[in-house]
Amino acid sequence: MGAGPFRFQRDIVAASHRSNTTIGWLLASPLAIVLVLFLVLPIVMIVVVSFWGATEFSIYPAFQLDNYEFLFASPVTYTVFLNTLMYTVITWACCLLIGFTVAYFLAFHVHSLTWQIALFLLCTIPFWTSNIIRMISWVPFLGRNGIANQSLIGMGVVNEPVEWLLFSDFAVILAFVHLYALFMVVPIFNTMMRIDRSLLEAARDAGASGFQTLTNIIIPLTTPGIMIGSIFVVTLVMGDFITVRFMSGSQSANVGRLISNDVALLQYPSAAATSVVLLLTVLIVIGIMLRFVNIRKEL
């Protein structure tokens, strides 16, 4: 007799739990449907097409490894992937240096919230225009008769225009840093603003120098923001192709450019195979970065 009320209460709790679970699934279903339709299915289709065959005039469904065999047998593939990794590593290092410096200045040297917002918005002004416009704006500045060369000649630094300023790897990396540095500033600044200022005061009271405070408190606590910014920069640079095309003067290439060329030639299976390899490479790089820090608490 005494067990009846407890069983009834348990049934009510179980029914409430099932109801909450159902409501949770219903609330999550629209986003899940969107992700399946516009993320999962396209990736699945790319993987499927990467095994298809192609001739000069047609594409036919099949399951063969010809596209991957050709991709890994070509020395051009390894050269292009190494070039892509070079762009990625150098751009990441430059963006990290700039992003950390800017975020540190805004977080710890600008004490007025109004000025922090104003300076942060100032950093976002270039993003009010398209990437292509911001990228092409470097051409008249870096060109043979551009502002940079004219200034160097006028100051007597060089006697003739510097040729490698434009249509070179330097121009590509400069454009990458210009385009994607803000993606490093934002997460680092957000993480720095969450640091308890009493920790810094305690470090100063304990006699720690500014460098010791930076290396033992600020950098370790900022690591999640650094990792988030690194993921943004790495994925954007490795997938970019238009910047390499314009800023190198078509003299250099990355994996995105390789895919773009295959698409232009209607070689979709080959482009799909390259895309799959690029996707796996990006996932491996991100997986390695996530091994060093847990960013779930930051998200």
Is 296 among the domain residues?
no
Q: How far apart are CA 10 and CA 12, in angstroms?
A: 5
Condensed to tens digits (0 to 9), the pLDDT of residues 150-188 reads 888 888 888 888 888 888 899 999 999 999 999 999 999
**Pick from 48-57, 89-98, 100-109: least confident:** 48-57
Arithmetic mean of pLDDT, 183-212:
88
HSE value, Cβ hemisphere, 13 Å, CA-based, for 292: 15
pLDDT at 297: 60
Is 148 among the domain residues?
yes
Q: What percent of the chain has pLDDT over 90?
A: 35
Q: How far apart are CA 181 and CA 91, in angstroms?
A: 9
Is 237 among the domain residues?
yes
How many helices (H) and strands (E) are present in the chain, helices listed first?
16, 2
Is 184 among the domain residues?
yes
**pLDDT of 2 higher than 50:** no
**Pick from 124-138, 214-228, 237-251, 265-279: least confident:** 124-138
Is 8 among the domain residues?
no
**Pick from 7-16, 161-170, 185-194, 279-288: least confident:** 7-16
pLDDT at 41: 94
3-state secondary structure 151-216: HHHHCCCCCCCCHHHCCCHHHHHHHHHHHHCHHHHHHHHHHHHCCCHHHHHHHHHCCCCHHHHHHH
Q: What is the residue range of 213's domain?
A: 73-290
Specify the residue for token string 């629209």.
30
Q: Among 170, 175, 174, 179, which Cα is nearest to 251's?
A: 170
Q: What is the CATH number of the domain that holds 97?
A: 1.10.3720.10
Is 57 among the domain residues?
no
What pTM did the predictor assign?
0.84
pLDDT at 100: 95
- Report which DSSP code applies to 39: I
Q: How far apart are CA 225 and CA 185, in angstroms?
A: 9
| Burial letters 203-241, b for 16+ CB under 10 A, else e | beeeebeeeebbeebbeeebbbbbbbbbbbbbbbbbbbb
Q: How far apart are CA 124 and CA 193, in angstroms?
A: 18
Condensed to tens digits (0 to 9), the pLDDT of residues 105-161 reads 998 888 888 888 888 888 888 777 788 888 888 888 888 888 888 888 888 888 888
The total number of structural domains that make up the chain: 1
pLDDT at 154: 87
